[in-house]
Amino acid sequence: NAGVTQTPKFRVLKTGQSMTLLCAQDMNHEYMYWYRQDPGMGLRLIHYSVGEGTTAKGEVPDGYNVSRLKKQNFLLGLESAAPSQTSVYFCASRSRDRAYNEQFFGPGTRLTVL
Partner 1 sequence: RKEVEQDPGPFNVPEGATVAFNCTYSNSASQSFFWYRQDCRKEPKLLMSVYSSGNEDGRFTAQLNRASQYISLLIRDSKLSDSATYLCVVNAFAGGTSYGKLTFGQGTILTVHP
Residues that bind partner 1 (CB under 8 A): 31, 33, 35, 40-45, 48, 50, 56, 58, 90, 94, 96, 101-103, 105-108
Compute the CA torsion angle 38, 43, 48, 51 (nearest 10 deg). Answer: 130
Q: Measured at the alpha carbon of residue 78, what is the angle toward residues 96 and 73, in degrees to the nearest 5? A: 30
- Residue 84 CB, nearest approach to partner 1 (Å): 18
For partner 1, the closer CB: 91 or 113: 91
Cβ contacts of residue 97 below 8 Å, gap of 6+?
none
- Residue 90 CB, nearest approach to partner 1 (Å): 6
- Residue 106 CB, nearest approach to partner 1 (Å): 6
